[in-house]
Amino acid sequence: MSMNEVKRPWERLLDLLETRNPDLVRAYLNSLKSEEIVRSISHMDLHEQRLLLTLLSPEDAADIIEDIPEAQAASIIETMKVKEAAAILNEMESDDQADLLSGLRPENAEAIIKRMKPEEAADVKNLIQYKPETAGGLMITEFLTYHENEFVGEVVNDLRENVEKYKKYNVQYLYVTADEGFVGVLQMKDLLMSKINTRLSEIVIRDTFTVQDSTTLDGLISFFDKYDFYGVPVLNDKHQLVGVVLRKHILEAKNERASIDLLSTQGIVGGEELRTMPLLIRSKRRLSWLSINILLNIMAASVIAFYQETLSAVIALAVFLPIISDMSGCSGNQAVAVSMRELSLGVVKPYEAMRVWLQEISVGLLNGLALGILIGLAAYLWKENIYLGLVVGGALSINTVLAVSLGGTLPLIIKKFGFDPALASGPVLTTITDMAGFFMTLSLASLMLAKL
């Protein structure tokens, strides 16, 4: 068997692209898993990506665009002709349309909207005004409504006649409106079990949950935590039905946020990074945080500069400073992680910093003692000086208590002031624990200098 026989999916795809035969390409794509398609696309250059999407039907291209990361989708769409892009946008779900268009340069987005089908364009212009993490930004506008004066028979006929057209719609529920606005929800099984001359007003479920278009993602997450619905109707401030938020979209948004959180704890800000992005963007996104961090680091290390005499007298201390800095950072970040999780589970609220602090102190004392003994022992065994062990071990013990106290409470305090706890906890925390750790070790050492 030669190596040529085992081609990667993107190599096969590029071969098929050269045939310019949409059916072959499409059949091959259907045989791939969703993640294989995403990965294959990220192996192509912009030219090949555009070729693929324009070769496929707009429906198939829309499926792919909805699957790949948003930043990537936007860069492909921007290489296309406005007409091609509009044809693909027409086939997407309304919330994906809005997300994608808000990722484009405004002039491009506007041009594309002008070429879209009028009804799709109207929907998307409406949606694009909402903030992304609100019910308005997360809802879909593909839903079916009927007036409360209509009859069951009319609805059933309409559904039968428009099966094709309604395929894109969310037909788990139907909605009922009146002249004054939203009335309620109609269940499929009630349609099934009612006579055809029943008025919808008789079988509509009126006492139904709704959310406002301004409801935040947090509000929606806790709504779907409490209620086991497939979706919830969204009303504007005139009590009109403007869309439906689906549970799956909320769970996806929550997932996406957790994943972005992991990036931002490492200081990759301004959106996601994929390695297929241009080098300068990737470098800049990482560097903006690194350069703040290096300044904070220099600030923390300047504490050491004040103790150069102590250090030259006991050069062994230089070995322990990085250890104390790193270990305090680790202990503190564990406490940060627990607080972040408790915040996201909702078992702790920002104003409970005092309670969290008390709970952290006990863990800090216990773990600080254990770590202090370990490192103190190492120092003693190396230099055979019990006082060096006491200085180093004592400093780490005290600093561990400080680190977990800060680590546990900082996320709550930062959240209380309206900032993102994931982003801010790390650098602030390690700068303070570094400064305190260096100060503790070197000032203790200065006090005991005669014995070291």
Letter for the amino acid at 247?
R
Residue selected from 327, 390, 436, 444 as contacting a copy of itself according to rule CB under 8 A: 327
Residue selected from 51, 54, 67, 154 as contacting a copy of itself according to rule CB under 8 A: 67
Q: Is 183 in contact with 204 (CB distance < 8 Å)?
A: yes
Determine whether 411 is exposed, middle or buried from the number of CB atoms within 10 Å of its CB (0-12, 13-18, 19+): buried
CB nearer to a copy of itself: give 188 or 447: 188
Residue 133 interacts with a copy of itself (CB under 8 A): yes or no: no
Q: Is 446 in contact with 304 (CB distance < 8 Å)?
A: no
Q: Is 145 in contact with 126 (CB distance < 8 Å)?
A: no
- Among 332, 409, 391, 400, residue whose Cα is nearest residue 369: 400
Residue 1 interacts with a copy of itself (CB under 8 A): yes or no: no
Q: State the Cα torsion 211-213-219-220 to the nearest 10°.
A: 70
> Smallest gap, in angstroms, from Cβ of residue 299 to a copy of itself?
10
> Smallest gap, in angstroms, from Cβ of residue 111 to a copy of itself?
29
Looking only at the bridges linking them, the beta strands covering 181-187 and 173-178 are antiparallel
Q: Print the SS3 string covering 268-291.
A: CCCCCCCCCCCHHHHHHHHHHHHH
- Enumerate residues 256-275 that contact a copy of itself by CB under 8 A: 258-259, 261-263, 265-268, 272-275
Count of C-beta atoms within a 10 Å radius of residue 131: 13
CB nearer to a copy of itself: give 46 or 294: 294
> Smallest gap, in angstroms, from Cβ of residue 137 to a copy of itself?
19
The neighbouring-strand residues paired with 184 are 176
Looking only at the bridges linking them, the beta strands covering 145-147 and 181-187 are unpaired
Residue selected from 36, 70, 78, 420 as contacting a copy of itself according to rule CB under 8 A: 36
Residue selected from 102, 212, 216, 359 as contacting a copy of itself according to rule CB under 8 A: 359
CB nearer to a copy of itself: give 128 or 158: 158
> Smallest gap, in angstroms, from Cβ of residue 321 to a copy of itself?
6
User: How many residues belong to the site for a copy of itself (CB under 8 A)?
Assistant: 107
Residue 374 interacts with a copy of itself (CB under 8 A): yes or no: yes
Q: Is 152 in contact with 201 (CB distance < 8 Å)?
A: no
- Enumerate residues 289-318 that contact a copy of itself by CB under 8 A: 290-291, 293-294, 297-298, 300-302, 304-305, 308, 311-312, 315-318
- Enumerate residues 182-211 that contact a copy of itself by CB under 8 A: 188-189, 191-193
Q: Which residue has the tokens 């479920």?
A: 205
Residue selected from 54, 212, 334, 385 as contacting a copy of itself according to rule CB under 8 A: 334
